Structure 1
Amino acid sequence: MDLYAERLTTWLPVVANGCEIQRANVTPSQWINRYVRVPYLSRALNDRFYSRYIIYPRVAKTFQGDVNHVLDHSYGHLLRALNPQRTIVTVHDLYPLHVSCQSALTPREQARKWLLRWVMGHALRARWLIAPSESTKRELLSLTDYPASRISVVHMGVDEVFFRPVEEEAQQQFRQALKVPEAARLLLHVGSCDPRKNIPLLLQGLKALLDRSGADFYLLQIGGRFAPDQIHLIHHLGLASQLRQRSNVSADELMGAYQAADVLLLPSTYEGFGLTALEAMASGTPVVASDIGALREVVGEAGVLVGLNDPAQLAAAVMTVLGDVRLRTQLVEKGRARAAAFRWSETARKTLAVYHRVYSERA
């Protein structure tokens, strides 16, 4: 969660009231040639492997503060180097535990399963945990024996850039760059293409819209790469011409995508928070999302929630949002108001309060 780390690094000093905030950074490229290449990993992944599991723990051991904050549970192994009684870990979601419970068929899958359990096991040694949603906290309590009294829910925030007024000319230019016809409807999905993002439902919903509405729909996917089975489904459904994908975009391009889109689709089977939904709502884009814990908590009544496995329901929800002007207007207004309640400054204040709590109890 690079964004989470960057925003806390920006906002914590603003609200720190005399506390010194330092962030440990590692430049792994200077170390990579010192180690033997791990089989089956590319150079980039080797770089990531060594920096995460060897270099970061070394840095952490010599870079301890009165309070330590591991900003991502996937670095939970740093608790081997840090004093657990002075350390906080943000657990963004419990997906690693869900994955580790699945059957592992190949040696690589077995190794990944073991690594996930190992990392999460160390993360749970921390003095305090921060969860981004009540849903994630409930999962922590149901899947682990970590005490509820030492879990704080601290929501993430929305960048101010997403609240900018919509510029129609910029919208048109963005759609033209994608080669999306002016009269067509543009659907947006932001995130990875991992299994939990439910890409098959997204594609089947698009197919249902094209077949039943008679309108022209395009889908822009930002932030991921379609997996081979997803590409096969795309061609099987005849959707290749209706899809656009951008793996890497700038903050301005992402804002442009939100404002150019008619609807954000978020059909995930699992989320720890749902930041993309908030960004879309801040941008004035209606949200159609899965009716699951974290998304239900974040979106509330400011969006439309649908089931996990029904393409027809997803398509019907999109058509309702696009066809009912009054509903769309209400969703835009409620969405902006909802998103405005999630500010990074407040995230930083609540995080700092956890720091003070752990500091007062330090061993």
Structure 2
Amino acid sequence: MNYDSLLTPKIHDINTFQDFRESLADHAPRIEQIIAELKRDPGRMMLISDLFRAFHNIKGDAGLCRVEFVIPLVHGIETLLSRMRAGELQLTEVLSEVLLLTLDRLEQAVESLSNNASAGSLHLPTLARGLDGLSTLQAEELDPACARLIEAVTGFKHAAVALPDRTRAEAERSNEERSQDLRFFRNMALQLEMRSPLFRGRTARNLQLALATNKAAGGVVSSTQLEAAVYMHDVGMMFLPESLWLKVERMTDAERAQLVDHPAWAAGLLARMDGWQDASTMCLQHHENIEGTGYPNKLSGNDIVPGAKILALVDAFEAVMLKHSHRGQNKSVLRAIAEVNASDQQFDPDWIEPFNRVIRTMMENGGL
């Protein structure tokens, strides 16, 4: 298998590339649904055949559209699924994570190319070689090898972790003494949660991750200001049509322009209240990124305050966990953190490292 196309993936024809991009967007939800069903009933041969067919169609579309880097990635998957159809292998938890990780990387690589960004952080050659290696192993060798491949590609060890509890009440937090302002901010955040069942528990999860990341980095940000910013950073979303901020499909340019306004609304409210200037700045900047391509002001590097960099990571992690929920399952913690880490040009590396330590600790302690 030739892995050269994976080193620097290219677009040969923008029109056929867009055709493939749309095709992949159609296949991906079905693949996730099939894998979710197979986890419940690994022996259903019809589902295995459907899964093989879906990946095979992606490979065929890639060939027709000259999106060549896709083919080496799907080749190893096809061999694994062929052996599953023959009864030689069975879908396990860790193997399913490899299949889903491959799907994630395909989607991320396509998005990177469409934005003229590098796909180097996705480690596509490592993944393709690993998949080919897995396809030759005996059943008893497969799970350990899958775990090693996941760690090689993502930097995280595989662990059978549960998804975050999205129904947990916040009694332990609401009983703590808060200032009147913080109680108000928290109530605003909970109002946002009520707009969708997918958001339930979001405030508690985001606060825990933000405060723990700040602590892991030495507590350089005021925990009180950071807490206020966690509560308020997305409150501006409530002033947008729900059809926009709960939208599953790709946004139009006009819709995206509306979305850009939401950080300023929360920031403006905080700026008008005595003592919350730092939290206001964090809210305003939480969609800026270190390369200067974020919004609303296209700030970069050290022009972005540390608290906003923490918020950006926490917000992105939560968004990745939920963005595919319409496909019938949320992303696992492993897949979510791997996707965030692959966006290394978006986030400050000085904050990714403590954030990763927090996630690893939570995974090891069963806290996610």
TM-score by length of 2: 0.29
Of Structure 1 and Structure 2, the greater helix share is in 2
Of Structure 1 and Structure 2, the greater strand share is in 1
- Identify the structure with bigger relative contact order (alpha carbons < 8 Å, sequence gap 6+): 1
TM-score by length of 1: 0.29
